[in-house]
């Protein structure tokens, strides 16, 4: 039986590439999305990957969403916490709402989603929880006190849950991408990208979403069973850990 993988924010950007990479690697994949029905339906039509709409920022919605996925595809073996948002602005201008929105979607969601699948993984004696972090959670970024705090939080969450899952063959890891050519990065003003970001990337280009998809497929595989609590960085050399 093919293993079941759920990718949050899995119908666009890096998430879409992860969903497709997992499908190509033989998984039964479910892609979660929150808002953009049109993009999600197009993605589903193109790839044959079913989509499930719910907000990862609300615990009850996660519980319902995961139950629906499991009813249709079976128990979740691989959870990819990819859904994330930015509300970039300098700290002086940042509102409590901009802080809270980013914390809810990017950090609370890790607790909510993992909570829904962890005990089942434990019972079955296998699981993979992979969270998409960020180079900016590792090095900090002007305009991202909220986002960097959430992404750094993901690493602490991961190292702790990894210890709790280890005896049950559940690995918990982070993939920390650098700047990848997606809508999120395209939202950064072009002059900031050219003057401040690209010169910091030794390989001299943005990453491709598929390059992150391959990292996730590796960490999800049996071959990666001895890797847990770890962060795999894929950032073109922008920040070397």
Q: Which residues bind ligand CAA (CB under 6 A)?
A: 86, 88-90, 92-93, 134-136, 141-144, 147, 179, 184-185, 188-189, 192, 196-197
Distances from the Cα of 169 to the Cα of 43, 156, 163, 227, angstroms: 32, 19, 11, 11
Give residues with Cβ within 8 angstroms of 150, minimum separation 6. 84, 102, 103, 106, 107, 137
CB 161 within 8 A of CB 178: no
- Residue 140 gets the label, from left (phi > 0), alpha (psi -120 to 50) or beta, of left
Helix axes 96-103, 145-165, angle to 10 degrees: 30
- Residue 119 gets the label, from left (phi > 0), alpha (psi -120 to 50) or beta, of alpha
d(CA 151, CA 139): 10
Choice between 27 and 147, CB closer to ligand CAA: 147
Shortest Cβ 227–ligand CAA spacing (Å): 22
Q: Could you tell me which residues are beta bridge partners of residue 30?
A: 6
231-234, strands of its sheet edge to edge: 51-53, 28-33, 4-7, 78-81, 127-132, 170-177, 231-234
Q: Could you tell me which residues are beta bridge partners of residue 7?
A: 31, 80
Choice between 19 and 144, CB closer to ligand CAA: 144
- Positions marked active-site: 147
Shortest Cβ 11–ligand CAA spacing (Å): 18
Shortest Cβ 7–ligand CAA spacing (Å): 17
Shortest Cβ 232–ligand CAA spacing (Å): 14
Shortest Cβ 12–ligand CAA spacing (Å): 13
Q: Could you tell me which residues are beta bridge partners of residue 32?
A: 52
């Amino acid at each position: 039986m093919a293993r079941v993988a759920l990718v949050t924010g899995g119908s666009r950007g890096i998430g879409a590439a992860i969903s497709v990479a997992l499908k190509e690697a033989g998984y039964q994949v479910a892609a979660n999305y929150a808002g953009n029905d049109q993009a999600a339906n197009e993605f589903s039509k193109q790839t044959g990957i079913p989509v499930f709409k719910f907000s990862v920022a609300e615990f009850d919605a996660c519980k319902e969403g995961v139950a629906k996925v499991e009813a249709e595809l079976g128990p979740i073996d691989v959870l990819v916490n990819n859904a994330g948002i930015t509300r970039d602005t300098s700290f002086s201008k940042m509102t409590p709402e901009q802080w809270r929105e980013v914390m809810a979607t990017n950090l609370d969601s890790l607790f909510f989603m993992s909570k829904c699948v962890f005990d089942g993984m434990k019972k079955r004696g296998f699981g993979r929880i992979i969270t998409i972090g960020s180079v900016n959670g590792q090095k900090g970024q002007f305009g991202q006190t909220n986002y960097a705090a959430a992404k750094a939080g993901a690493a602490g969450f991961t190292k702790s849950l990894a210890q709790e899952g280890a005896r049950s063959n559940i690995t918990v890891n982070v993939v920390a991408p650098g700047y990848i050519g997606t809508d999120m990065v395209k939202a950064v003003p072009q002059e900031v990208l050219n003057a401040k970001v690209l010169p910091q990337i030794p390989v001299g280009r943005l990453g491709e979403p598929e390059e992150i998809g391959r990292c996730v497929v590796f960490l999800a595989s049996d071959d990666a069973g001895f890797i847990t609590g770890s962060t795999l960085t894929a950032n073109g050399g922008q920040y070397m850990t």
